[in-house]
Structure 1
Amino acid sequence: MKKTFKLFLILFFAFSVKVKAQDGFHFINKNKVHQQISFKLINNLIVIPLHLNDKKLHFILDTGVNKTILFNISQNDSIGLNNVKKVKLQGLGKGESIDALMSLNNNVSIKKIASKTETIYVILKDNFDLSSKMGTTIHGIIGYDLLKEFILKINYKSQTIDFYNPNKFKYRKCKKCEVFPLKLFRNKPYMNLKVQLDTIGNKLIDVKMLIDSGGSDAVWLFEDSKEDIKTPKQFFNDILGEGLSGAIYGNRSRMPKIKMGSFEIENPTVSFLDSLSTKNARTFKDRNGSIGAGILKRFKVWIDYPNKKITLKKSGSFSGGFNYNMSGLDVIYYGKQLVKEENVKSYSNNASAGGENSINFITSFSYKFKPSFIVNSVVENSPAEKAGLLKDDIILKINGKRSYEFTLNDIMFKFQQRDNKKIKIEVSRNGKK
């Protein structure tokens, strides 16, 4: 069985605050009806550029959150925040609630789309360090506050999002598209679909699932949320991701099928949360789990909060397989390292008539900053633990190739390749190779 890198961003708020009505996001030009932006797809997650109070930042677009979160403020960032008060946040994981700030009436813009009245929740201590896990700087998460104002067309293949004015947008006829109603509960979108588990034969189970573009996995299910929802016999325990309140544990497996209307997706990966995370996640009691970006990226997706519906159309990657990272290694970005590189240039010395030609070499050296990577955790009884790898091992080489020649995505892909593939890793531990 194969496996994919995951990161889950599911937040729950342990407080209630009343704020005045917000103007919300809108096209700066009132006559404009469409705006396209480009995004980066990192670990299946959509990363968009935006400006917060005139500071350029990078946020994950996450349908699974109902608040805008800012959590990566360094000493080099100068973001003026307005009307600030202290609050508490509770997230998935086994830890306690954390301290945060709520800031009102902030200016947020994405190209020609803007709002001057946005409420931002600021995490004071970024315990799960999302930027290291993504391999690029991520400042926060945005969801409902942006999505509620527009109809969005998300094209994972071209990595573009089109924003449309819902009052002037008309859907084109599309024979290959299918429309599903959305139920919004606490400003998060849910849809009905069917799943098949190998514990119940060919039976299809009706489930209500959160649409979670901020989860890079394919499917989450909450064990015992229905009588037939059980972890399959073949599974392995793993860290599913990080929440605000610590690591999220559960069981990873596969299931025969997920059926969304006429669309059938075979052998997707599925994760079952531990009992504590399930309890925290099921604030909506009818919820049975989530479908994440591992499913969504196989479609062109129209998200339509104003009309409470979602439209799906198969994309070219629809039939691709689902992979797991079964190495047991959680590798993260570890900053820049200064690398000495040798540059060799050659030139010909053309001799005069009757002489011999010669080739001369000039060697020079340059110093460049390159990425480095470190082992963040090792899953118990995994291949990585059995091989002797430990937390805080710094990765030097993978299969003889220096680690700085990879991106974090490249490294995770190495752990998702064919079954029983052997990988040779050289690490630095306490200054020794």
Structure 2
Amino acid sequence: MNKRFSFIFLFICLSHFGFCQDKFVIQNKKQSDKIRFKLINNLIVIPVDINGVTLSFLLDTGVSKPIIFNFLNVSDTLQIKDTETIQLRGLGGGESVEALKSANNIFKIGDAIKLNQDLYAVFNNNLNFTPRLGIPIHGIIGLDIFKDFIVEINYSTGYLRLTEPKRFKYKPCKKCERFNLEFYNGKPYVNVMVEIENKTIPVKLLIDSGGSDALWLFENDSLDIKSGKKFFNDFLGHGLNGSVYGKRSKVQNFFLKSFVLENANVAYPNAENVLFAAQIKNRNGSIAGNILKRFNIIFDYKKAVMTLSKNSYFKEQFSYNKSGIELAHDGIRVVRQIKNTLKTKSNSQTSNNSIILDPQYKISLKPAYAIVELRKDSPAEEAGLKIGDVILSINGKQTHQYNLQQITQMFYAHDGKKIKLSIDRAGMVLSYSFLLKNPF
């Protein structure tokens, strides 16, 4: 009798915390939790525990399934089970990607937990965000978080808050704007306005927090969505199915109701790279991180609304990489560093002691940063730099003293700034210099 009572009591307790439900629940009395995130290249990186292993994930409104990359590096400890092989599609010009679908995984994000989460592990070694961002990135997650909670993203402080919808209360906000959302395959879309060549055009855009650009538009002459004459060709990024290339330009204005972003960056991806995405009915492109980060955002999927308020990033000027260099972390390199020590030398004839500097060398391993993309006719290419060059120093300072984001940011400086690089090319140390130049 006592055993039966204990079992019933345990079942009630588990039900109270929502463990029997096919959803995330928050394990605290407030039913709300605040989680710190890193903002890397306009992307949100959060800690996610999977089957007891802590990993780093991108929080991506543009994905409907949790996906793990670098699968071979973490598979031994994740205890993935109940698997089947499937095919996934996304951006890029390649074929669909093979993935392993796994059921009944335990996911934990802060105090939020789900006991039976599906997971998609990708085997393709080319799908690796770690080198491009300079920190370990193991996967991406989106819909499963947003559908179960009210998600508040405070880009300016680096925190997000997850709240059970029944416990969330909207605060009065005179300077906020609220937008109705539409959903397709669990992904959010919003109808906004863009001004191109003095024409204001209504567009339907995917809200894509997993993209680091500002705005992507799919060219369509019948809708007057086109790059015009002022653009340059460039590498735009990596999708699930390969690299994406296209044109970069500017729009005169981008309207989010009363919020107006002037001279915003826009990319027009090549049609073959977004063929699958462009087939979604009436979709004209995406809003990505370089616009989203300018707002603190409340996503309410239950009510299908998004609330925006300006933050400290709002007035940040839109700019482009003026060097033409795309860098990535490329393993490690051996660095010899001087470690000076002081020694006392005695003189037996004068009974005097003298202090001398004794240089010693310490050998250490530091990250290597290599050129992985080089824009045609860019200042760096015209100076003679090549894909594969490993940058040893920039403007006289060793690159291992910076992180990847800090180095990349130097390429966004003002026109005419001189960049001096020391590089390693197949064992040869060479020096190059160039001036940053507006790509237009």
Residues 22 and 117 of structure 1 are in contact (CA less than 8 Å); yes or no, is this contact kept in structure 2?
A: no
Are the aligned partners of 1:92 and 1:246 in contact in 2 as well (CA < 8 Å)?
yes
Counterpart of 1:331 in structure 2 is 327
Counterparts of 1:22 and 1:239 in 2: how far apart (Å)?
A: 43
The answer for the alignment partner of 2:237 in structure 1 is 241
Equivalents in 2 of 1:389, 1:366: separation in Å? 30
**Structure 2 counterpart of 1:290:** 286
1:32 corresponds to which residue?
Answer: 30
Structure 2 matches for 1:116-127, cutoff 5 A?
116-127=115-126
Amino acid at match of 1:141: I
Deviations 1:295-314 (A, max 9, x none): 11111111111111000011
1:83 offset after TM fit, Å? 0.9
State the distance in 2 between where 1:120 and 1:327 align: 39
Give the superposition deviation at 1:281. Answer: 1.4
Query: Which residue matches 2:17?
Result: none
Q: Give SS of 2:140's match.
A: strand
Q: Which moved more, 1:97-106 or 1:135-144?
A: 97-106
Paired residues of 1:239 and 1:249 also in contact (CA < 8 A) = yes
Structure whose residues are more often helix by fraction: 2
1:139 corresponds to: 138
Please give the alpha-carbon distance, in whole angstroms, between the structure 1 residues aligned to 2:250 and 2:312: 22
SS at match of 2:282: coil
Counterpart for residue 401 of structure 2: 405
The question of whether the paired residues in 1 share the 8 Å contact of 2:72 and 2:123 is answered with: no
Mapped contact 1:22–1:118 kept (Cα < 8 A): no
Equivalence for 1:66: 64
Unaligned stretches of 5+ residues in structure 2: 1-19, 430-440
Partner of 1:46: 44
Q: Is 1:280 the counterpart of 2:276 in the alignment? A: yes
Distance 1:410 1:92 in 2: 28
Deviation larger for 363-372 or 182-191: 363-372
Between the aligned partners of 2:277 and 2:416, the Cα distance in structure 1 is: 35
Q: How many residues align?
A: 407
- Residues 103 and 121 in structure 1, CA contact (< 8 A), matched pair in contact too: yes
The answer to which of 383-392 and 167-176 deviates more is: 383-392
- Give the Cα–Cα distance (whole angstroms) in 1 for the partners of residues 342 and 222 of structure 2: 70
Equivalent residue, structure 1, for 2:302: 306
Q: CA RMSD in A?
A: 2.2
1:148 partnered with 2:144: no
Cα distance change on mapping 1:190 and 1:69 into 2, 3 Å: same
Partner amino acid for 2:326?
D
- Deviation digits for residues 248-300 of structure 1 (CA, Å, limit 9, x no counterpart): 01100111110111111111100001111232212422111111110111111
335-344 or 107-116, which deviates more: 335-344
C-alpha separation in 2, matches of 1:283 and 1:120: 26
Residue matched to 1:5: none
Amino acid at match of 1:326: K
Identity %: 41
SS in 2 for 1:276: helix
1:319-367 superposed Cα distances (whole Å, 9 cap, x missing partner): 1101111322221001222322212245899x9xxx9996532433333
One of 416, 420, 423 as aligned partner of 1:424 = 420
Question: Which aligned pairs between 1:20-419 and structure 2 lie closer than 5 A?
Answer: 23-29=22-28, 31-75=29-73, 77=75, 78-198=77-197, 201=198, 203-224=199-220, 226-346=222-342, 359-419=355-415
Higher relative contact order (CA closer than 8 Å, sequence separation 6+) = 1
